[in-house]
Copies of this chain bind each other. A is one copy, B any other.
């Protein structure tokens, strides 16, 4: 997974590249209808796949429209981890066609006060979710076109409001399915809100005194790679070329957990097995890994708000 596509550019991709007059017309039409829902519903949650919760949501969606197309981001978001929910959405959504509807249910505040919303991004993607920070990164990177609050008086599964409800199934899956399959229009979701969402604050990368400082938002968990939020331009200020060495310090709060020198490479294959490397991942963010190894496990480096990283020449 040595992937280094800029996600910010990725949704420029349209898939309409056939070289003909017909395709030009088609492209024009698709520009007009860029925000039209495409009957595709993609789920994300922290429910896991061991019980029936995800299946109940999908059953409700199929009950709304038997021909709807259902997919998943993941259901293995760590319980209550809104930050990771936000991250997985922005890592994934740009690769789905415009018009796709996402339902994300990571909802520690269920039953208490938080709005249920549908965000339409400038890229033409819809996000149905509690507005609890889940939309932080898609709002920043894909742009806010419009935000609407779900009107539960109409957009709630019949017979489901007699008691405290499973919102993922009775409100979010139900509304997402009706929106995706055009049973309702985006306007019918509910009243228009100010074009803003609840945001999680997080450390942005910076360069000062010859050092780059950043955060560690997430791990590439399957391979144990450590993904920072240090982008290429900021890293560039260090003046280190591919093949050069980078001094790395990783902190958990004030405690130094890792200190070392890694080779800056394009691909893991450039070093021997077992070597630490620095590279740019699919988000074009600086990352740490070990060729055929697991950096996170070896050095006990994990991700989250309390982690930071300092790079120097």
Contact = CB atoms under 8 A, between A and B. Distances in A.
Interface residues of A, number: 83
Interface stretch (A46-54, A143-151, A205-213, A244-252): A46-54
Interface string A80-103: 100000001001110111001000
A154 to B, nearest CB: 10
A112 to B, nearest CB: 4
Given A163-B4, A222-B79, A71 B96 contact: no
A166 interface: yes
A70 B42 CA distance: 13
Nearest to A60: B95
Interface stretch (A116-124, A256-264, A265-273): A265-273
Interface in A58-83: 58-60, 62-64, 66, 69-76, 79-80
Given A40-B66, A71-B58, A108-B292, A284 B49 contact: no
A13 interface: yes
A4 B160 CA distance: 9
A64 B97 CA distance: 9
A165 B97 contact: no
A95 B169 contact: yes
B50 A66 contact: no
B39 A97 contact: no
Interface of A: 1-6, 9-10, 12-15, 17, 38-40, 42, 46-53, 55-60, 62-64, 66, 69-76, 79-80, 88, 91-93, 95-97, 100, 108-112, 157-160, 162-170, 220-223, 266-269, 280, 282, 284, 292
Q: Top 5 closest A-B pairs, CB basis?
A: A3-B166, A111-B267, A59-B96, A112-B269, A59-B95
